[in-house]
Amino acid sequence: MRALVTGGCGFIGSNVVKTLLSKNVQVRVLDDLSTGYAKNIRGLDVEFIRGDIRQADVVRRALRRVDVVFHLAASVGNQRSLKDSRADSEINALGTLNIMEASRKSGVERVIYSSSAAIFGELLTSTVSEDHPQNPETPYGVSKLAGENYVMAFGKLYGIISIALRYFNVYGVNQRYDPYGNVIPVFAKRLHQRKPLIIHGDGGQTRDFINVRDVANANYLAATIASESSVFNVGTGKTITINNLAKTLMACTGLSASLVPGPKRIGDVRHCRADITRIERALGFKPDTDIRKGLSQYYEWFSRERQQ
């Protein structure tokens, strides 16, 4: 198998690259390094192309002699999209269109698209199946849904096996601090600095946190087992409150901090848990990283990273 991983220097993308290499897949990475880090793939046996998915000529070059595309390059996060909605749309929607047009012309057999639970918007049920209505409430959710629709439409039109993986809250190694990003690295940074943890809202909101190693495995299964186009939730099927997440991280690290209330974030949903029945049945996917173990491993990596 010859694979292109867009965004392969990023947090999730670099973990997908490592999983593919462990399965003896030939890997090419396309990344503009705007949010990714070259050191995430340093020393790995990959071909690296530095470039932007918004540039059609760069995408065409990256897709030569490729069997499968893992499309992870994106502008990520609700808060970032509120700050610069145009860039969010250009990268996530039009960039994905470039990927699909080039995939069609290059004879790519399948595309694995990294989607997001943000496409659902305000949830009608606390447990979310793939059939839940999609009414995104932020530019990020809108652009990721647009990208997903492009991928699935091209799949139908041109016979490309197209898989959309709707990630819930992903965390783990190579996830660096980003003020617009996941709450776990934000908490980790403040713990490392011995500062209070800011809880937006009352902390009773729940999330389904999945370790990036499980997400990388879901990508591999989608590329090797799925026989037809489909969409899949990628989560654990379990939730934890933000308050309990903070307490669990402190217990895992042996550090303590006070919890300080902050304003509720625009676009945040109250409760969110993935129904992963479909991906379990279709691909045999089983997330097996306990959150305590995952948080401990993450903070160990985070602490080493901060010392470099």
In this structure, what are the phi and psi dihedrals at residue 132, rounded to the nearest 5 degrees?
-60, 140
- The mean pLDDT of 127-138, rounded to a whole number, is 95
Answer yes or no: 150 catalytic.
no
- The mean pLDDT of 115-136, rounded to a whole number, is 94
Q: What was the pLDDT predicted at 71?
A: 98
Give me the percent of the chain exceeding a pLDDT of 90: 89
Please report, as a single letter, which amino acid is at residue 33.
L
pLDDT confidence band for 202 (50 / 70 / 90)? very high
Q: What was the pLDDT predicted at 308?
A: 63
Q: Is the pLDDT of residue 181 over 80?
A: no
Exactly one of 113, 140, 171, 299 is catalytic; name it.
140
Q: What was the pLDDT predicted at 268?
A: 74
> Sign of the CA dihedral 224, 227, 228, 234?
negative
Q: Which helix (H) or strand (E) holds 98?
A: helix 95-106
Q: What was the pLDDT predicted at 65?
A: 96
Domain boundaries, the chain: 2-171+209-236+277-283, 183-206+238-272+290-307
* Mean pLDDT for all residues in the chain: 95
Q: Is the pLDDT of residue 124 over 70?
A: yes
Q: How far apart are CA 49 and CA 228, in angstroms?
A: 29
Residue whose tokens read 């499968």: 68
Q: What was the pLDDT predicted at 77?
A: 81
Q: Is the pLDDT of residue 307 over 90?
A: no
Q: What was the pLDDT predicted at 180?
A: 67
pLDDT confidence band for 128 (50 / 70 / 90)? very high
- The mean pLDDT of 13-17, rounded to a whole number, is 98
CATH of 183-206+238-272+290-307, one of 1.10.3300.10, 3.30.720.200, 3.40.50.300, 3.90.25.10: 3.90.25.10
- The mean pLDDT of 75-93, rounded to a whole number, is 89
> CA geometry: angle at 298 spanning 297 and 302, to 5°?
120
Q: Is the pLDDT of residue 140 over 90?
A: yes
- Please name which of 109, 231, 219 lies closest in space to residue 163, comparing C-alpha atoms: 231
Q: How far apart are CA 34 and CA 100, in angstroms?
A: 22
Whether 276 and 170 have beta carbons less than 8 Å apart is answered as no
- Please name which of 172, 149, 171 lies closest in space to residue 162, comparing C-alpha atoms: 149
Q: Which of 38-47, 121-130, 244-253 has the lowest mean pLDDT?
A: 121-130
Q: Is the pLDDT of residue 267 over 70?
A: no
Q: Is the pLDDT of residue 132 over 90?
A: yes
- The mean pLDDT of 264-283, rounded to a whole number, is 90
Which two three-digit tokens encode residue 282?
């279709």
Fold designation for 2-171+209-236+277-283 = Rossmann fold (3.40.50)
- The mean pLDDT of 29-42, rounded to a whole number, is 97
Q: Is the pLDDT of residue 63 over 80?
A: yes
Q: Is the pLDDT of residue 305 over 80?
A: yes
